[in-house]
A and B are shown apart, each in its own frame.
Chain A
Amino acid sequence: MTDNMIELHDITKLYGRIVANDNINLNIHRGELMTLLGPSGCGKTTALRCITGQVTPDEGRVFIDGVDVTDVPTHNRELGMVFQNFALFPHMTVFDNVGFPLMIRDMPKPRRREMVMDTLRLIRMETYAEHYPRQLSGGQQQRVGLARALVYHPKVLLLDEPLSNLDAKLREEMRFEIRDLINRLGITAVYVTHDQAEALAMSDRVAVMNAGQIEQVGTPDEIYECPRSKFVADFIGLSNFMLGTVASVESGRAALSVDRVQLMVPADEGTRAGEDQLVFIRPNDIELLPADSDQVQNVFDGTISKLTYLGDKIDYRVLVGEALEVRVQTDGKVRFSKGDRVKVRLPMTHCRVISA
C-alpha cells in the first residue's frame, strides 16, 4: 500500500455516451516509470488527466502519495508535467518559464535563480536562459518543458506523448536522455504514448490500454514475450496469428491443426482435444531453411509469395500449404527470392497460446 505513489481505484469516466475510462485500477510504485500505452482513443490521456486533476472521474478515487486527491484541484497536486506540444509560456524567457513554478510558490529570487540554473544545467540549456521559446528547436523546447516540470521536485512527473512532435532521430536520443534523467532523480513518472517501441525502451512497467480498459500490466519483457490477449500481442510488435483446433495433447504439447497444417504448440494441463486455440508467433522467431533441410518438428513446406527489403532485415510472406500465410523476418544472411520453395520452421517454444 505505502510503496504506491499513485493509485487509481475503479476510475470510470464518460464523455456523453463514450466510455473513456471503464473501471480502471492501477498502482504505480514509488520511483518507477509507468507507461500508459495504447492507440489513440484508448483512454490513456483521460487516465493521465484524472491524475493531474484536469478531468474529474465520474466514479472512483485517485490517490497520490497515500492521499485521496480526487477532489483536489490541479494546482494543489504538486505535479510536474511535460506536454506533447511543449506548452511553454511564449511570452517568457527560458529562465522565466523554468522559474514559473517557483515564482508561483513565492520563492525568494536568489534561491529561485539558483534552482533554475541548476535545473537548466541538468538539461544542458544553461546558455539559453535568456532565449524565448520561439527561438529554440523542438528538442530544446521539450528539454525546457522537462526542466519546468522538474524544477520544484514534484512528487510525480507526467509525460504526455512528449516526443511525438520531434523527428525520428531526435526522438531516439531524447528517449535515453529522459530515461537517464528520471533514473538520476529517482522520481515517479507516468508516461503516455502510442509508440510501442518508446514504451518498451523506456518503461519499468507498461500498462497496455484498449477501449477504456487496461488489457495488461507488466514489464516490457512480459508484455512482449507473454501478451495475455490478442490485442496486446498485435499492438506490441509484429505477430502471426493462427487459429486452430487441438488434434491431440501429450505431455506439455499439443498438436494443432491450422489450415491443414499440423503445428506443435506448448499446452497446459487444461488443454483438451477438439478445442479451438489462438496461437501467435513473432515473424523474427520463424526460421526459413533451404528446401532440402532435414529438420522435422514444426517444419513445413512453403513458397515465398512476397518479400520486402527493409535494410537490416527482410520481410517475407510465405505460403504454407494452401491457405496459411505467415510473415517471417530474417536478418538476410541467407536470402530467398519470390517463388522459392523453402522449409519454414516455427520453433515450438516461440509459439504462444492465447486463449481462443
Chain B
Amino acid sequence: MTVLRQYLQALWRARKSLVYVFLLCFSLLIYMPFLMILLKSVGRGWFGRLWLPPELTTHWYRFAVEVTNIPEISKNTLIIAGLAVIMSTLIGIPTGWAFGRRKIPGKELLMSMILLPRMIPPIAYGLGVAQIFYRTHLINTHFGVALAHVAVCAPYAILVLSTTFEGLDERVLEASAVCGANPWRTFLHVIVPLILPGILSSMIFTFTTSYNEFTLTLMTYGKDTVTLPVRTYIALGEGYWEVTSAMSILLVIPSLLVLFLIQRQVAPEKLVGGFKGV
C-alpha cells in the first residue's frame, strides 16, 4: 500500500512535467507516421530499422509522377474539388442564410438531418449513391463524384455560413440604411465585407473535405475520374511502398498550403482588419 501511495505522490509532484510527456507522446503519435512516409519516399534501401535511410534519392518521386500519371490525376482531383466547392457554396449560402437569420420551425431537426450524411458510415452511404449513379449514368463523371462529395461538404458549408450570417448584426444593416445606403449599396459595402471571411473559410473547409475524400470517391469513380487518394491506394495494392510514400507526400502538400493560408492569410481578423481587440 505504501509503495502505491508513494508512487501516486511522486506522480502528483511531477504533474507539470507529465503534461509535457503526454504532449510529446501525442505528437509522436501524430507525426511519426508522417515522418515514416517522408523518409521512405526519399530513401533507397531503407526498411525503417536504421535511424536514417542509407542513401537519399528523388527516384521514387520521378517514378510516381511518370508511371501513375500524377498531372492527370491532380487535374481530376482539382476539378472534382472545385465542382464540390461551387455546389456546396451555392447550397450553403441560401441555406445558411435561412438557418442563421430566419425563424424556422423545427430548425434543430432540420440541421441534424443535414448533418446525417456525415454521421452514417461513408461506405454504407456510398453504396447507395453508387447504385443510383449506375442507373443515372453519373458513375465515372467529374460531376457525379463531386455530387457525392457535396453530401459531406455541404453540411460544413451550411454550418459555417449559418454561423457567419447569424453573426451579422441587424442593427449594423439598419445603421447603413439610415446613413443613406440603399439595399444594394448596403449589400456591397457592409454585408459582403462582413460575410466574405465566412464564405472563404467555408470554401476552404469544403475544398479540403472533397480533396481528402476517399470512400465516396472509391464508390463512384471510374477510369476517367481517378483522384489522388484513390490512386495512392491503388499504388499500395501494386506493392511499391516507396512510390506510395512519395505519392502520399505529394498528396499532403496542397493540404499544408491550405493550412498555411488559413494561418497566415485568411485569418478572419486579418481579412476584416483589426477585428480583434488590442
Contact = CB atoms under 8 A, between A and B. Distances in A.
Interface residues of A, number: 33
B172 A132 contact: no
A105 B186 CA distance: 13
Query: Of B175, B181, B183, which is in contact with the most chain A CB atoms at under 10 Å from its CB?
Result: B175
A74 B193 contact: no
A245 B276 CA distance: 65
Contacts of A84: 171
B270 to A, nearest CB: 12
B179 A148 contact: yes
A101 to B, nearest CB: 4
Interface residues of B, number: 26
A164 interface: no
A87 B179 CA distance: 12
Interface in A52-83: 52, 54, 73-81, 83
Query: Of A54, A74, A76, which is in contact with the most chain B CB atoms at under 10 Å from its CB?
Result: A74
Interface stretch (A88-96, A278-286, A337-345): A88-96
B274 A104 contact: no
A300 to B, nearest CB: 53
Interface in B33-58: none
B189 interface: yes
Contacts of B274: 93, 131-132, 134-135
A74 B178 contact: yes
Contacts of A235: none
B178 A81 contact: yes
Interface string A97-136: 0001101110000000000000000000000000110110
Interface of B: 169, 171-172, 174-183, 185-186, 189-190, 193-194, 272-278
Interface of A: 52, 54, 73-81, 83-85, 87-91, 93, 100-101, 103-105, 131-132, 134-135, 148-149, 152, 158
Given A91-B194, A91-B273, 13 more contacts: A73-B177, A74-B174, A75-B180, A75-B183, A83-B174, A85-B171, A87-B175, A89-B175, A90-B275, A93-B273, A104-B180, A135-B277, A148-B179
